Structure 1
Amino acid sequence: MRIEATRGKQGIGMEVKDATDVEAAQWGKYRWWRYVLGLMVILFSWLVVGSVGNAMEQTLEQNKTFIRNHFEEFVNRKNSAIAYQNFAPNFIDREEPFVGLVSPELVKQTMEKAYVKYPDLHVTVEDAIAEGDKVMVRCLWRGTDASTGKKMEFKGFVLWRLADGKLAERWATVTPPLR
Protein backbone atom coordinates (compact mmCIF):
# COMPACT_ATOMS: atom_id res chain seq x y z
CA MET A 1 0.00 0.00 0.00
CA ARG A 2 1.33 3.43 -0.89
CA ILE A 3 0.04 6.75 0.41
CA GLU A 4 0.53 9.78 -1.79
CA ALA A 5 -0.41 13.40 -1.32
CA THR A 6 -2.80 14.67 -3.95
CA ARG A 7 -4.00 18.15 -4.83
CA GLY A 8 -7.57 18.90 -5.59
CA LYS A 9 -10.17 21.64 -5.40
CA GLN A 10 -10.48 21.24 -1.65
CA GLY A 11 -6.75 21.39 -0.87
CA ILE A 12 -4.22 18.67 -0.21
CA GLY A 13 -5.57 15.20 0.50
CA MET A 14 -4.28 11.67 0.77
CA GLU A 15 -4.79 8.90 -1.72
CA VAL A 16 -4.05 5.27 -1.04
CA LYS A 17 -2.58 3.18 -3.88
CA ASP A 18 -1.65 -0.46 -3.91
CA ALA A 19 2.03 -1.30 -3.85
CA THR A 20 3.99 -4.52 -3.91
CA ASP A 21 6.15 -5.64 -1.00
CA VAL A 22 9.23 -4.87 -3.11
CA GLU A 23 8.12 -1.27 -3.65
CA ALA A 24 7.37 -0.83 0.05
CA ALA A 25 10.81 -2.20 0.94
CA GLN A 26 12.48 0.20 -1.50
CA TRP A 27 10.78 3.21 0.08
CA GLY A 28 11.99 2.10 3.52
CA LYS A 29 15.59 1.61 2.43
CA TYR A 30 16.00 5.35 1.85
CA ARG A 31 14.57 6.33 5.25
CA TRP A 32 17.39 4.86 7.35
CA TRP A 33 19.12 8.25 7.46
CA ARG A 34 16.20 9.69 9.43
CA TYR A 35 16.81 7.17 12.19
CA VAL A 36 20.54 7.83 12.17
CA LEU A 37 19.92 11.58 12.26
CA GLY A 38 17.49 11.14 15.15
CA LEU A 39 20.06 9.10 17.08
CA MET A 40 22.72 11.71 16.37
CA VAL A 41 20.46 14.49 17.67
CA ILE A 42 19.77 12.49 20.85
CA LEU A 43 23.48 11.75 21.34
CA PHE A 44 24.48 15.36 20.71
CA SER A 45 21.83 16.62 23.16
CA TRP A 46 23.05 14.18 25.78
CA LEU A 47 26.65 15.33 25.33
CA VAL A 48 25.72 19.03 25.52
CA VAL A 49 23.54 18.61 28.60
CA GLY A 50 26.18 16.43 30.23
CA SER A 51 28.97 18.91 29.56
CA VAL A 52 26.85 21.85 30.77
CA GLY A 53 26.09 19.89 33.94
CA ASN A 54 29.78 19.09 34.43
CA ALA A 55 30.74 22.72 33.76
CA MET A 56 28.16 23.92 36.29
CA GLU A 57 29.40 21.41 38.86
CA GLN A 58 32.98 22.49 38.19
CA THR A 59 32.01 26.13 38.65
CA LEU A 60 30.30 25.30 41.96
CA GLU A 61 33.46 23.54 43.13
CA GLN A 62 35.55 26.50 41.97
CA ASN A 63 33.31 28.87 43.93
CA LYS A 64 33.67 26.79 47.10
CA THR A 65 37.44 26.66 46.61
CA PHE A 66 37.51 30.44 46.09
CA ILE A 67 35.72 31.00 49.43
CA ARG A 68 37.95 28.54 51.30
CA ASN A 69 41.05 30.21 49.83
CA HIS A 70 39.65 33.64 50.71
CA PHE A 71 39.34 32.70 54.39
CA GLU A 72 42.77 31.07 54.37
CA GLU A 73 44.50 34.13 52.88
CA PHE A 74 42.45 36.94 54.41
CA VAL A 75 42.13 35.57 57.95
CA ASN A 76 44.59 32.76 58.63
CA ARG A 77 47.57 34.17 56.69
CA LYS A 78 46.62 37.75 57.59
CA ASN A 79 46.94 38.94 54.01
CA SER A 80 44.70 42.00 54.18
CA ALA A 81 45.75 43.18 50.70
CA ILE A 82 43.82 40.26 49.21
CA ALA A 83 40.71 42.38 49.85
CA TYR A 84 41.49 44.36 46.69
CA GLN A 85 41.57 41.16 44.67
CA ASN A 86 38.64 39.29 46.27
CA PHE A 87 36.03 41.96 47.03
CA ALA A 88 34.04 43.65 44.29
CA PRO A 89 34.28 47.46 44.34
CA ASN A 90 30.52 47.57 44.95
CA PHE A 91 30.52 44.84 47.64
CA ILE A 92 27.35 44.83 49.77
CA ASP A 93 27.45 43.62 53.36
CA ARG A 94 24.00 42.68 54.64
CA GLU A 95 25.07 42.23 58.28
CA GLU A 96 27.22 43.84 60.93
CA PRO A 97 29.68 45.44 61.17
CA PHE A 98 28.92 47.49 58.05
CA VAL A 99 25.47 46.93 56.50
CA GLY A 100 25.48 48.47 53.05
CA LEU A 101 27.95 49.27 50.33
CA VAL A 102 31.49 48.59 51.52
CA SER A 103 34.78 49.28 49.78
CA PRO A 104 37.61 46.73 49.73
CA GLU A 105 39.72 49.34 51.58
CA LEU A 106 37.29 49.46 54.52
CA VAL A 107 37.16 45.66 54.71
CA LYS A 108 40.98 45.58 54.67
CA GLN A 109 41.26 48.16 57.48
CA THR A 110 38.72 46.32 59.62
CA MET A 111 40.59 43.03 59.31
CA GLU A 112 43.90 44.72 60.14
CA LYS A 113 42.34 45.88 63.44
CA ALA A 114 41.19 42.31 64.10
CA TYR A 115 44.76 41.04 63.44
CA VAL A 116 46.04 43.38 66.16
CA LYS A 117 43.31 42.52 68.69
CA TYR A 118 43.53 38.75 67.98
CA PRO A 119 47.07 38.03 66.73
CA ASP A 120 46.40 34.29 66.53
CA LEU A 121 43.00 34.69 64.83
CA HIS A 122 42.13 31.58 62.87
CA VAL A 123 39.03 30.46 60.99
CA THR A 124 38.18 26.91 60.04
CA VAL A 125 35.68 26.34 57.25
CA GLU A 126 33.86 23.24 58.44
CA ASP A 127 31.32 22.96 55.60
CA ALA A 128 30.75 24.62 52.25
CA ILE A 129 27.67 24.31 50.04
CA ALA A 130 27.34 25.98 46.66
CA GLU A 131 24.40 26.64 44.40
CA GLY A 132 24.20 29.05 41.51
CA ASP A 133 26.29 32.12 42.32
CA LYS A 134 26.19 31.59 46.10
CA VAL A 135 28.34 29.71 48.60
CA MET A 136 27.26 29.00 52.18
CA VAL A 137 29.96 28.15 54.71
CA ARG A 138 29.85 27.04 58.32
CA CYS A 139 32.86 28.42 60.14
CA LEU A 140 34.59 28.20 63.50
CA TRP A 141 36.59 31.26 64.56
CA ARG A 142 39.20 31.18 67.35
CA GLY A 143 41.60 33.71 68.74
CA THR A 144 43.23 35.17 71.82
CA ASP A 145 42.57 38.75 72.88
CA ALA A 146 46.00 40.43 72.91
CA SER A 147 45.07 42.85 75.72
CA THR A 148 43.55 40.31 78.14
CA GLY A 149 45.01 36.98 77.07
CA LYS A 150 41.50 35.49 77.04
CA LYS A 151 40.67 32.99 74.37
CA MET A 152 37.50 33.46 72.36
CA GLU A 153 35.62 31.22 69.98
CA PHE A 154 32.50 31.70 67.90
CA LYS A 155 30.69 29.85 65.17
CA GLY A 156 28.77 31.17 62.25
CA PHE A 157 27.23 30.75 58.85
CA VAL A 158 28.20 33.05 56.02
CA LEU A 159 26.41 33.20 52.70
CA TRP A 160 28.49 34.78 49.94
CA ARG A 161 27.28 35.82 46.50
CA LEU A 162 29.94 35.91 43.82
CA ALA A 163 29.89 37.96 40.63
CA ASP A 164 32.63 38.13 38.02
CA GLY A 165 34.97 36.09 40.21
CA LYS A 166 34.67 38.44 43.20
CA LEU A 167 32.78 38.63 46.47
CA ALA A 168 29.71 40.74 45.70
CA GLU A 169 27.46 40.26 48.72
CA ARG A 170 27.54 38.74 52.22
CA TRP A 171 25.01 37.63 54.83
CA ALA A 172 26.26 36.28 58.16
CA THR A 173 24.85 34.76 61.32
CA VAL A 174 27.22 34.20 64.23
CA THR A 175 26.98 32.94 67.79
CA PRO A 176 28.15 35.20 70.62
CA PRO A 177 31.85 34.61 71.33
CA LEU A 178 32.64 32.02 74.00
CA ARG A 179 35.35 33.08 76.40
Structure 2
Amino acid sequence: MSIITTAERNKETLRRFHDAVSTGDEEIISRTIDEVVQPDVKIRTPLPIETTGTSAMKEVLAVLRRAFPDLHVEVEDVIAEGDKVVTRNTVTGTHRGEYMGVPPTGKSITYKEILIARFVDGRVAETWAVVDVMSQMRQLGVFAGPNA
Protein backbone atom coordinates (compact mmCIF):
# COMPACT_ATOMS: atom_id res chain seq x y z
CA MET A 1 0.00 0.00 0.00
CA SER A 2 1.52 3.31 -1.06
CA ILE A 3 1.09 6.52 0.85
CA ILE A 4 0.34 9.60 -1.22
CA THR A 5 2.32 12.54 0.09
CA THR A 6 1.06 16.10 0.22
CA ALA A 7 3.62 17.00 -2.45
CA GLU A 8 2.32 14.26 -4.76
CA ARG A 9 -1.27 15.33 -4.18
CA ASN A 10 -0.36 18.98 -4.92
CA LYS A 11 1.46 17.92 -8.11
CA GLU A 12 -1.61 16.01 -9.26
CA THR A 13 -3.83 19.02 -8.48
CA LEU A 14 -1.68 21.32 -10.63
CA ARG A 15 -1.69 18.77 -13.47
CA ARG A 16 -5.49 18.65 -13.18
CA PHE A 17 -5.60 22.45 -13.55
CA HIS A 18 -3.43 22.33 -16.71
CA ASP A 19 -5.49 19.47 -18.13
CA ALA A 20 -8.68 21.49 -17.60
CA VAL A 21 -7.18 24.50 -19.41
CA SER A 22 -6.32 22.26 -22.36
CA THR A 23 -9.93 21.10 -22.73
CA GLY A 24 -10.97 24.51 -24.08
CA ASP A 25 -14.29 23.98 -22.27
CA GLU A 26 -15.13 27.12 -20.30
CA GLU A 27 -17.40 25.24 -17.88
CA ILE A 28 -14.77 22.59 -17.07
CA ILE A 29 -12.07 25.24 -16.65
CA SER A 30 -14.24 27.39 -14.37
CA ARG A 31 -15.37 24.42 -12.27
CA THR A 32 -11.82 23.11 -11.93
CA ILE A 33 -10.53 26.54 -10.87
CA ASP A 34 -13.29 26.74 -8.25
CA GLU A 35 -12.32 23.29 -6.95
CA VAL A 36 -8.52 23.54 -6.90
CA VAL A 37 -7.78 27.25 -6.39
CA GLN A 38 -8.40 29.34 -3.27
CA PRO A 39 -11.02 32.05 -4.04
CA ASP A 40 -8.60 34.79 -2.94
CA VAL A 41 -5.57 33.33 -4.78
CA LYS A 42 -2.71 35.82 -5.04
CA ILE A 43 -1.49 36.06 -8.64
CA ARG A 44 2.02 37.50 -8.46
CA THR A 45 2.44 37.90 -12.23
CA PRO A 46 1.65 41.45 -13.37
CA LEU A 47 -1.62 41.42 -15.31
CA PRO A 48 -3.36 44.20 -17.27
CA ILE A 49 -6.68 43.59 -15.48
CA GLU A 50 -8.41 44.93 -12.39
CA THR A 51 -9.98 41.72 -11.07
CA THR A 52 -8.32 39.58 -8.42
CA GLY A 53 -8.48 36.02 -7.10
CA THR A 54 -10.10 33.27 -9.13
CA SER A 55 -11.97 35.89 -11.19
CA ALA A 56 -8.63 37.19 -12.48
CA MET A 57 -7.44 33.68 -13.27
CA LYS A 58 -10.66 32.95 -15.20
CA GLU A 59 -10.41 36.28 -17.05
CA VAL A 60 -6.81 35.65 -18.15
CA LEU A 61 -7.68 32.17 -19.38
CA ALA A 62 -10.77 33.49 -21.22
CA VAL A 63 -8.56 36.03 -23.06
CA LEU A 64 -6.14 33.26 -24.01
CA ARG A 65 -8.96 30.95 -25.15
CA ARG A 66 -10.51 33.68 -27.32
CA ALA A 67 -7.13 34.33 -28.94
CA PHE A 68 -6.08 30.66 -29.15
CA PRO A 69 -9.25 28.49 -29.07
CA ASP A 70 -7.17 25.30 -29.40
CA LEU A 71 -4.82 26.29 -26.55
CA HIS A 72 -3.01 23.24 -25.20
CA VAL A 73 -0.66 23.03 -22.22
CA GLU A 74 1.83 20.16 -22.28
CA VAL A 75 3.40 19.70 -18.85
CA GLU A 76 7.08 18.85 -19.40
CA ASP A 77 8.30 18.77 -15.79
CA VAL A 78 6.67 18.87 -12.36
CA ILE A 79 8.79 19.57 -9.30
CA ALA A 80 7.48 19.82 -5.74
CA GLU A 81 9.22 21.11 -2.65
CA GLY A 82 7.45 21.97 0.58
CA ASP A 83 4.20 23.79 -0.19
CA LYS A 84 5.20 24.72 -3.77
CA VAL A 85 4.84 22.95 -7.11
CA VAL A 86 6.62 24.08 -10.27
CA THR A 87 5.61 23.09 -13.78
CA ARG A 88 7.62 23.69 -16.93
CA ASN A 89 5.18 23.76 -19.81
CA THR A 90 5.05 23.98 -23.58
CA VAL A 91 1.96 25.84 -24.76
CA THR A 92 0.59 25.62 -28.29
CA GLY A 93 -2.31 27.25 -30.06
CA THR A 94 -3.59 28.79 -33.27
CA HIS A 95 -4.05 32.56 -33.29
CA ARG A 96 -7.76 32.92 -34.17
CA GLY A 97 -8.71 35.98 -32.08
CA GLU A 98 -7.22 39.31 -31.00
CA TYR A 99 -4.32 38.93 -28.56
CA MET A 100 -2.53 41.83 -26.86
CA GLY A 101 -3.62 44.16 -29.64
CA VAL A 102 -2.61 41.77 -32.44
CA PRO A 103 -5.47 40.86 -34.80
CA PRO A 104 -5.89 37.16 -35.68
CA THR A 105 -3.12 35.84 -37.93
CA GLY A 106 -4.12 32.17 -38.19
CA LYS A 107 -0.54 31.28 -37.21
CA SER A 108 0.22 28.34 -34.95
CA ILE A 109 2.49 29.24 -32.07
CA THR A 110 4.49 27.32 -29.48
CA TYR A 111 5.95 28.96 -26.39
CA LYS A 112 7.33 28.01 -22.99
CA GLU A 113 6.14 28.93 -19.54
CA ILE A 114 7.04 28.14 -15.97
CA LEU A 115 4.38 28.25 -13.27
CA ILE A 116 5.01 28.12 -9.54
CA ALA A 117 2.02 27.44 -7.31
CA ARG A 118 1.97 27.61 -3.52
CA PHE A 119 -0.61 25.38 -1.88
CA VAL A 120 -2.62 25.82 1.32
CA ASP A 121 -4.95 23.02 2.42
CA GLY A 122 -4.62 21.25 -0.93
CA ARG A 123 -5.58 24.26 -3.06
CA VAL A 124 -3.55 26.82 -5.01
CA ALA A 125 -3.19 29.93 -2.84
CA GLU A 126 -0.51 31.87 -4.74
CA THR A 127 1.03 31.77 -8.21
CA TRP A 128 4.02 33.13 -10.08
CA ALA A 129 4.36 32.64 -13.83
CA VAL A 130 7.06 33.35 -16.37
CA VAL A 131 5.67 33.28 -19.92
CA ASP A 132 7.81 33.70 -23.04
CA VAL A 133 5.76 36.60 -24.44
CA MET A 134 8.64 37.65 -26.71
CA SER A 135 8.45 34.27 -28.44
CA GLN A 136 4.67 34.68 -28.80
CA MET A 137 5.10 38.12 -30.38
CA ARG A 138 7.86 36.95 -32.73
CA GLN A 139 5.74 34.05 -33.95
CA LEU A 140 2.78 36.38 -34.49
CA GLY A 141 4.99 38.65 -36.61
CA VAL A 142 5.04 41.60 -34.19
CA PHE A 143 8.83 41.48 -33.77
CA ALA A 144 11.47 40.27 -36.18
CA GLY A 145 13.27 37.16 -35.07
CA PRO A 146 13.84 33.49 -35.79
CA ASN A 147 10.15 32.58 -35.39
CA ALA A 148 8.65 35.59 -37.18
TM-score where L is the length of structure 1: 0.62
Where does residue 85 of structure 1 map in the other structure?
35
**Structure 1 residues without counterparts, runs of 5 or longer:** 1-53
Question: How do residues 102-141 of structure 1 correspond to structure 2 at under 5 angstroms?
Answer: 102-141=52-91
2 CA distance for matches of 1:98 and 1:129?
Answer: 29
Where does residue 14 of structure 2 map in the other structure?
67
Q: 1:101 to 1:120 in 2, by over 3 A?
A: closer
Which residue identity lines up with residue 80 of structure 1 in the other structure? Answer: I
Number of aligned positions between the proteins: 124
User: Counterpart of 1:76 in 2: which secondary structure?
Assistant: helix
Q: CA deviation at 1:100?
A: 9.6
Where does residue 76 of structure 1 map in the other structure?
22
Q: Which has the higher contact order (CA 8 A, sep 6+)?
A: 2
Which residue identity lines up with residue 109 of structure 1 in the other structure? Answer: E
Where does residue 40 of structure 1 map in the other structure?
none
User: Counterpart of 1:109 in 2: which secondary structure?
Assistant: helix
How high is the sequence identity, in percent, across the aligned residues?
A: 31
Over the aligned positions, Cα root-mean-square deviation in angstroms equals 2.2
Structure 1 runs of 4+ aligned residues shifted over 3 Å read: 98-101
Higher-Rg structure is 1
Deviations 1:59-80 (A, max 9, x none): 211111111111001x101333
| Higher percent of residues as helix | 1
| 8 Å contact kept, 1:140–1:153 | yes
